[in-house]
DNA sequence: CATCCGTGGAC
DNA sequence: TGTCCAAGGAT
Protein backbone atom coordinates (compact mmCIF):
# COMPACT_ATOMS: atom_id res chain seq x y z
CA UNK A 1 0.00 0.00 0.00
CA UNK A 2 1.22 3.47 -0.80
CA UNK A 3 0.49 6.20 1.67
CA UNK A 4 -1.17 9.08 -0.11
CA UNK A 5 -2.31 12.44 1.05
CA UNK A 6 -6.03 12.92 0.64
CA UNK A 7 -5.54 16.40 -0.80
CA UNK A 8 -2.58 16.18 -3.17
CA UNK A 9 -2.50 13.66 -6.01
CA UNK A 10 0.44 11.35 -5.51
CA UNK A 11 0.03 8.52 -7.97
CA UNK A 12 0.31 8.68 -11.71
CA UNK A 13 -3.30 7.64 -11.92
CA UNK A 14 -4.39 10.58 -9.79
CA UNK A 15 -2.26 13.00 -11.78
CA UNK A 16 -3.77 11.72 -14.98
CA UNK A 17 -7.25 12.01 -13.58
CA UNK A 18 -6.62 15.67 -12.72
CA UNK A 19 -5.22 16.24 -16.21
CA UNK A 20 -8.26 14.64 -17.82
CA UNK A 21 -10.65 16.75 -15.78
CA UNK A 22 -8.75 19.94 -16.55
CA UNK A 23 -8.71 19.42 -20.30
CA UNK A 24 -12.23 18.03 -20.55
CA UNK A 25 -13.65 20.88 -18.47
CA UNK A 26 -11.87 23.35 -20.73
CA UNK A 27 -13.29 21.53 -23.76
CA UNK A 28 -16.85 21.60 -22.46
CA UNK A 29 -16.58 25.35 -22.07
CA UNK A 30 -14.65 26.21 -25.23
CA UNK A 31 -15.32 23.61 -27.91
CA UNK A 32 -16.30 24.82 -31.35
CA UNK A 33 -19.76 23.94 -32.54
CA UNK A 34 -18.81 21.72 -35.47
CA UNK A 35 -21.43 19.76 -37.42
CA UNK A 36 -19.61 16.42 -37.24
CA UNK A 37 -19.70 16.67 -33.44
CA UNK A 38 -23.47 16.94 -33.13
CA UNK A 39 -25.33 13.91 -31.75
CA UNK A 40 -27.10 13.35 -35.07
CA UNK A 41 -23.84 13.06 -37.01
CA UNK A 42 -23.72 9.48 -38.33
CA UNK A 43 -20.54 7.40 -38.38
CA UNK A 44 -20.48 8.02 -42.12
CA UNK A 45 -20.65 11.76 -41.52
CA UNK A 46 -17.78 11.49 -39.06
CA UNK A 47 -15.78 9.50 -41.58
CA UNK A 48 -16.43 12.06 -44.33
CA UNK A 49 -15.29 14.85 -42.04
CA UNK A 50 -12.11 12.97 -41.14
CA UNK A 51 -11.20 12.39 -44.78
CA UNK A 52 -11.75 16.05 -45.58
CA UNK A 53 -9.83 17.21 -42.51
CA UNK A 54 -6.72 15.29 -43.52
CA UNK A 55 -4.47 18.29 -44.16
CA UNK A 56 -7.29 20.72 -44.92
CA UNK A 57 -8.35 23.42 -42.40
CA UNK A 58 -11.76 23.24 -40.73
CA UNK A 59 -12.96 26.47 -42.25
CA UNK A 60 -12.58 25.18 -45.79
CA UNK A 61 -14.04 21.79 -44.94
CA UNK A 62 -17.32 23.10 -43.52
CA UNK A 63 -19.15 23.94 -46.77
CA UNK A 64 -17.76 20.92 -48.63
CA UNK A 65 -18.84 18.62 -45.81
CA UNK A 66 -22.41 19.89 -45.90
CA UNK A 67 -22.69 19.61 -49.66
CA UNK A 68 -21.16 16.14 -49.71
CA UNK A 69 -23.54 14.69 -47.14
CA UNK A 70 -26.53 16.33 -48.75
CA UNK A 71 -25.68 14.59 -52.00
CA UNK A 72 -24.47 11.29 -50.49
CA UNK A 73 -26.11 10.75 -47.08
CA UNK A 74 -24.90 7.13 -46.88
CA UNK A 75 -21.91 5.16 -48.14
CA UNK A 76 -24.18 3.32 -50.58
CA UNK A 77 -25.27 6.63 -52.11
CA UNK A 78 -21.68 7.53 -52.86
CA UNK A 79 -20.75 4.04 -54.03
CA UNK A 80 -23.60 4.15 -56.54
CA UNK A 81 -22.09 7.20 -58.22
CA UNK A 82 -19.00 7.38 -60.40
CA UNK A 83 -15.65 8.00 -58.72
CA UNK A 84 -15.23 10.99 -61.00
CA UNK A 85 -18.24 12.59 -59.35
CA UNK A 86 -16.48 12.30 -56.01
CA UNK A 87 -13.41 13.95 -57.51
CA UNK A 88 -15.54 16.76 -58.94
CA UNK A 89 -17.45 17.25 -55.69
CA UNK A 90 -14.16 17.38 -53.82
CA UNK A 91 -13.58 20.71 -55.50
CA UNK A 92 -10.57 22.60 -54.29
CA UNK A 93 -10.06 20.89 -50.94
CA UNK A 94 -6.70 19.64 -52.16
CA UNK A 95 -5.12 16.19 -52.33
CA UNK A 96 -7.93 14.85 -54.56
CA UNK A 97 -6.74 11.29 -54.15
CA UNK A 98 -8.63 11.50 -50.86
CA UNK A 99 -11.86 11.81 -52.84
CA UNK A 100 -11.02 8.67 -54.77
CA UNK A 101 -10.17 6.81 -51.57
CA UNK A 102 -13.35 7.96 -49.87
CA UNK A 103 -15.32 6.63 -52.82
CA UNK A 104 -13.40 3.35 -52.62
CA UNK A 105 -14.04 3.19 -48.88
CA UNK A 106 -17.75 3.75 -49.48
CA UNK A 107 -17.73 0.91 -52.00
CA UNK A 108 -15.98 -1.42 -49.56
CA UNK A 109 -18.42 -0.47 -46.80
CA UNK A 110 -21.35 -1.16 -49.10
CA UNK A 111 -20.02 -4.46 -50.37
CA UNK A 112 -18.32 -5.87 -47.28
CA UNK A 113 -20.03 -4.26 -44.30
CA UNK A 114 -23.71 -4.15 -45.23
CA UNK A 115 -23.54 -0.44 -45.91
CA UNK A 116 -22.67 0.44 -42.33
CA UNK A 117 -19.37 2.05 -41.37
CA UNK A 118 -17.60 -0.63 -39.32
CA UNK A 119 -16.96 0.15 -35.67
CA UNK A 120 -14.04 -2.24 -35.38
CA UNK A 121 -10.68 -0.51 -35.47
CA UNK A 122 -9.02 -3.17 -37.61
CA UNK A 123 -11.89 -3.12 -40.09
CA UNK A 124 -11.65 0.65 -40.31
CA UNK A 125 -7.90 0.47 -40.83
CA UNK A 126 -8.41 -1.89 -43.75
CA UNK A 127 -10.47 0.68 -45.64
CA UNK A 128 -8.82 2.73 -48.43
CA UNK A 129 -7.59 6.08 -47.19
CA UNK A 130 -7.95 5.13 -43.54
CA UNK A 131 -4.67 5.11 -41.64
CA UNK A 132 -3.78 4.90 -37.99
CA UNK A 133 -5.14 8.32 -37.16
CA UNK A 134 -8.44 8.11 -39.05
CA UNK A 135 -9.24 4.62 -37.79
CA UNK A 136 -8.76 5.76 -34.20
CA UNK A 137 -10.66 8.98 -34.78
CA UNK A 138 -13.74 7.29 -36.27
CA UNK A 139 -13.73 4.55 -33.63
CA UNK A 140 -13.42 7.16 -30.92
CA UNK A 141 -15.64 9.98 -32.17
CA UNK A 142 -18.37 7.97 -33.87
CA UNK A 143 -18.42 4.86 -31.69
CA UNK A 144 -17.11 6.25 -28.41
CA UNK A 145 -14.40 3.64 -28.13
CA UNK A 146 -11.12 3.90 -26.25
CA UNK A 147 -8.29 4.62 -28.68
CA UNK A 148 -5.22 6.82 -28.70
CA UNK A 149 -5.97 9.48 -31.28
CA UNK A 150 -2.63 10.94 -32.25
CA UNK A 151 -2.89 13.76 -34.74
CA UNK A 152 -0.71 16.82 -35.31
CA UNK A 153 -2.55 18.79 -32.62
CA UNK A 154 -2.21 16.11 -29.97
CA UNK A 155 1.43 15.53 -30.85
CA UNK A 156 2.14 19.23 -30.37
CA UNK A 157 0.31 19.38 -27.03
CA UNK A 158 2.24 16.37 -25.78
CA UNK A 159 5.54 17.74 -27.09
CA UNK A 160 5.02 20.87 -25.05
CA UNK A 161 3.09 19.79 -21.98
CA UNK A 162 4.82 16.44 -21.45
CA UNK A 163 8.21 16.59 -23.15
CA UNK A 164 8.88 20.29 -22.77
CA UNK A 165 9.83 21.08 -26.36
CA UNK A 166 8.16 23.47 -28.76
CA UNK A 167 7.54 21.03 -31.59
CA UNK A 168 7.32 17.25 -31.96
CA UNK A 169 9.64 15.33 -34.26
CA UNK A 170 8.80 15.09 -37.94
CA UNK A 171 7.61 11.52 -37.74
CA UNK A 172 5.55 10.00 -34.96
CA UNK A 173 7.75 8.11 -32.49
CA UNK A 174 7.14 5.09 -30.32
CA UNK A 175 7.56 7.34 -27.29
CA UNK A 176 4.67 9.51 -28.46
CA UNK A 177 2.43 6.48 -28.92
CA UNK A 178 3.40 5.31 -25.47
CA UNK A 179 2.54 8.70 -23.98
CA UNK A 180 -0.78 8.78 -25.80
CA UNK A 181 -1.65 5.30 -24.55
CA UNK A 182 -0.58 5.96 -20.99
CA UNK A 183 -2.62 9.14 -20.77
CA UNK A 184 -5.75 7.51 -22.16
CA UNK A 185 -8.56 7.47 -19.56
CA UNK A 186 -9.73 4.03 -18.50
CA UNK A 187 -13.40 4.51 -19.29
CA UNK A 188 -14.17 4.42 -23.01
CA UNK A 189 -16.62 7.31 -22.88
CA UNK A 190 -14.13 9.48 -20.98
CA UNK A 191 -11.35 8.45 -23.34
CA UNK A 192 -13.42 9.51 -26.35
CA UNK A 193 -14.08 12.93 -24.88
CA UNK A 194 -10.46 13.28 -23.82
CA UNK A 195 -9.33 12.51 -27.37
CA UNK A 196 -11.39 15.26 -28.97
CA UNK A 197 -10.63 17.63 -26.09
CA UNK A 198 -6.84 17.40 -26.44
CA UNK A 199 -7.16 17.86 -30.18
CA UNK A 200 -9.28 20.94 -29.67
CA UNK A 201 -6.79 22.36 -27.19
CA UNK A 202 -4.05 21.97 -29.78
CA UNK A 203 -6.21 23.51 -32.48
CA UNK A 204 -7.39 26.54 -30.51
CA UNK A 205 -4.81 27.28 -27.80
CA UNK A 206 -1.63 25.25 -28.15
CA UNK A 207 -1.23 26.26 -31.79
CA UNK A 208 1.88 25.86 -33.92
CA UNK A 209 2.57 29.52 -34.61
CA UNK A 210 1.59 31.57 -31.59
CA UNK A 211 0.24 29.51 -28.71
CA UNK A 212 -1.99 31.37 -26.27
CA UNK A 213 -0.33 30.07 -23.17
CA UNK A 214 -2.00 32.73 -21.05
CA UNK A 215 -5.36 31.10 -21.68
CA UNK A 216 -4.17 27.52 -21.49
CA UNK A 217 -5.70 25.26 -18.83
CA UNK A 218 -2.41 23.34 -18.61
CA UNK A 219 -0.30 26.43 -18.06
CA UNK A 220 0.63 25.43 -14.49
CA UNK A 221 1.84 21.95 -15.30
CA UNK A 222 3.11 22.36 -18.87
CA UNK A 223 6.73 21.24 -19.11
CA UNK A 224 7.50 23.65 -21.93
CA UNK A 225 6.03 26.57 -20.04
CA UNK A 226 7.95 25.61 -16.89
CA UNK A 227 11.17 25.46 -18.89
CA UNK A 228 10.64 29.02 -20.07
CA UNK A 229 9.26 28.07 -23.48
CA UNK A 230 12.61 27.31 -25.12
CA UNK A 231 12.53 27.69 -28.91
CA UNK A 232 12.74 24.69 -31.17
CA UNK A 233 16.21 23.29 -31.70
CA UNK A 234 17.02 20.69 -34.30
CA UNK A 235 17.02 20.13 -38.02
CA UNK A 236 15.19 22.69 -40.11
CA UNK A 237 11.51 21.87 -40.28
CA UNK A 238 10.80 21.12 -43.88
CA UNK A 239 9.10 23.81 -45.84
CA UNK A 240 6.77 22.67 -48.57
CA UNK A 241 7.73 24.21 -51.85
CA UNK A 242 4.89 24.26 -54.30
CA UNK A 243 5.52 26.73 -57.10
CA UNK A 244 6.64 24.90 -60.20
CA UNK A 245 6.14 21.40 -58.83
CA UNK A 246 4.29 18.52 -60.42
CA UNK A 247 1.67 18.98 -57.74
CA UNK A 248 0.89 22.43 -59.02
CA UNK A 249 0.63 21.16 -62.59
CA UNK A 250 -1.58 18.27 -61.54
CA UNK A 251 -3.81 20.73 -59.76
CA UNK A 252 -4.16 22.90 -62.83
CA UNK A 253 -4.89 19.93 -65.08
CA UNK A 254 -7.47 18.45 -62.74
CA UNK A 255 -9.18 21.81 -62.31
CA UNK A 256 -9.87 21.85 -66.06
CA UNK A 257 -11.28 18.31 -65.94
CA UNK A 258 -13.45 19.10 -62.90
CA UNK A 259 -14.98 22.15 -64.48
CA UNK A 260 -15.52 20.53 -67.86
CA UNK A 261 -18.36 18.11 -66.97
CA UNK A 262 -17.43 15.77 -69.78
CA UNK A 263 -14.63 14.95 -72.13
CA UNK A 264 -11.69 17.29 -72.54
CA UNK A 265 -9.40 17.55 -75.54
CA UNK A 266 -5.64 17.60 -75.15
CA UNK A 267 -5.45 21.18 -76.41
CA UNK A 268 -7.44 22.41 -73.42
CA UNK A 269 -4.98 20.75 -71.07
CA UNK A 270 -1.97 22.06 -72.94
CA UNK A 271 -2.97 25.60 -72.05
CA UNK A 272 -2.43 25.21 -68.32
CA UNK A 273 1.36 24.70 -68.31
CA UNK A 274 4.18 25.76 -70.60
CA UNK A 275 6.57 22.85 -70.05
CA UNK A 276 5.32 19.98 -72.22
CA UNK A 277 7.53 17.39 -70.54
CA UNK A 278 6.35 18.25 -67.05
CA UNK A 279 2.78 18.57 -68.27
CA UNK A 280 2.85 15.09 -69.75
CA UNK A 281 4.43 13.66 -66.61
CA UNK A 282 1.75 15.26 -64.44
CA UNK A 283 -1.06 13.98 -66.66
CA UNK A 284 0.43 10.48 -66.68
CA UNK A 285 0.56 10.65 -62.91
CA UNK A 286 -3.09 11.61 -62.68
CA UNK A 287 -4.02 8.72 -64.97
CA UNK A 288 -1.86 6.32 -62.97
CA UNK A 289 -3.59 7.46 -59.80
CA UNK A 290 -7.01 6.91 -61.34
CA UNK A 291 -7.94 10.57 -61.06
CA UNK A 292 -8.13 10.95 -64.84
CA UNK A 293 -9.35 8.52 -67.48
CA UNK A 294 -8.14 8.52 -71.08
CA UNK A 295 -11.07 7.91 -73.40
CA UNK A 296 -9.30 8.10 -76.74
CA UNK A 297 -6.32 9.67 -78.47
CA UNK A 298 -5.84 13.06 -76.83
CA UNK A 299 -9.16 12.95 -74.97
CA UNK A 300 -9.60 12.73 -71.22
CA UNK A 301 -12.28 12.84 -68.53
CA UNK A 302 -12.80 12.19 -64.83
CA UNK A 303 -13.13 8.44 -64.08
CA UNK A 304 -16.51 6.79 -64.60
C1' DC B 1 11.44 6.26 -43.29
C1' DA B 2 11.60 10.10 -46.63
C1' DT B 3 8.97 11.68 -50.17
C1' DC B 4 5.05 12.54 -52.76
C1' DC B 5 0.43 14.25 -52.95
C1' DG B 6 -3.25 20.46 -53.41
C1' DT B 7 -4.89 24.53 -51.84
C1' DG B 8 -5.42 28.71 -49.50
C1' DG B 9 -5.03 31.62 -45.44
C1' DA B 10 -2.32 33.93 -41.76
C1' DC B 11 1.62 36.46 -40.53
C1' DT C 1 6.14 38.73 -49.71
C1' DG C 2 7.61 34.51 -48.84
C1' DT C 3 7.23 31.16 -45.33
C1' DC C 4 4.63 28.16 -42.63
C1' DC C 5 1.20 24.99 -41.96
C1' DA C 6 -3.55 22.62 -41.83
C1' DA C 7 -7.95 16.40 -37.72
C1' DG C 8 -2.65 12.18 -42.98
C1' DG C 9 -2.07 8.19 -46.12
C1' DA C 10 0.44 5.38 -49.28
C1' DT C 11 4.59 3.79 -50.94
Domains of chain A (ranges plus CATH)? 21-32+148-226 (1.10.1670.10), 42-141 (1.10.340.30), 246-301 (1.10.10)
Mark the nucleotides of strand B covered by protein, meaning any atom under 7 Å from a CB: 1-9, 11
Q: How far apart are CA A210 and CA A208, in angstroms?
A: 6
- A33-85 pLDDT, tens digit per residue, is 999 999 999 999 999 999 999 999 999 999 999 999 999 999 999 999 999 99
Could you tell me if A60 and A93 are in contact, meaning their C-beta atoms sit under 8 angstroms apart?
A: yes
Q: Is the CB of A170 under 7 A from strand C?
A: no
Answer with the residue of higher pLDDT: A12 or A224: A224
Cβ pair A99, A89 in contact under 8 A: yes
**Structure confidence by residue, pLDDT tens digits, A143-190:** 999 999 999 999 999 999 999 999 999 999 999 999 999 999 999 999
Q: Is the CB of A85 under 7 A from strand C?
A: no
Q: Identify how many contiguous H helices and E strands chain A contains and give both numbers.
A: 15, 3
User: What separation in angstroms does the CA of A145 have from each of A118, A137, A140?
Assistant: 12, 9, 5
Mean pLDDT across A204-209: 97
Distance A226 CA to B5 C1' (A): 39
Amino acid sequence: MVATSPSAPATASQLHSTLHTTVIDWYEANARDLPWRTPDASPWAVMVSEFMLQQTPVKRVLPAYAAWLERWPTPADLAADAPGEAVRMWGRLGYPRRALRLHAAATAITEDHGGEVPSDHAALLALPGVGEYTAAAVASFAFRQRHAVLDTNVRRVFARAVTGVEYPAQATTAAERRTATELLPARAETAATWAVAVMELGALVCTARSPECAGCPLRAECAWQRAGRPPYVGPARRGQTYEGTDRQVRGKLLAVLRDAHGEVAQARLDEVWHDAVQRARALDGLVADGLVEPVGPGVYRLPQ
